[in-house]
Structure 1
């Protein structure tokens, strides 16, 4: 996932979490899922790259959005 989102500053900022063990990786996936669930927010603030978001695999994007939405309830 990180390879597909190289130009997103929000992902680069949180990428050290991948070394934080299972909890760090889980938090990182949560950040990425939030990026795809609310892309307008991150695009407006300049923390996401529209090109990276469009080139991300659609099946994985859909799974991340479903994961994020399921965690709200």
Structure 2
């Protein structure tokens, strides 16, 4: 997140996503939680399959989760 766009998206995540999560009694993680936390949450929710899909997008990642 050293590029200015990454910094902007991280700040949006912090100011919007995290606060919305906290307002719903969530963990307040935000959208920039990273793959390790996503894997942890998926496993805790009972998903057995977790795969990062190979998409060509510098701003987003897409995960495939299956039970």
**Does TM, scored on the shorter chain, surpass 0.5?**
no
Report the structure number with the largest CA radius of gyration.
2
TM-score, length basis structure 2: 0.31
**More contact order relative to length (CA 8 Å, sep ≥ 6):** 1
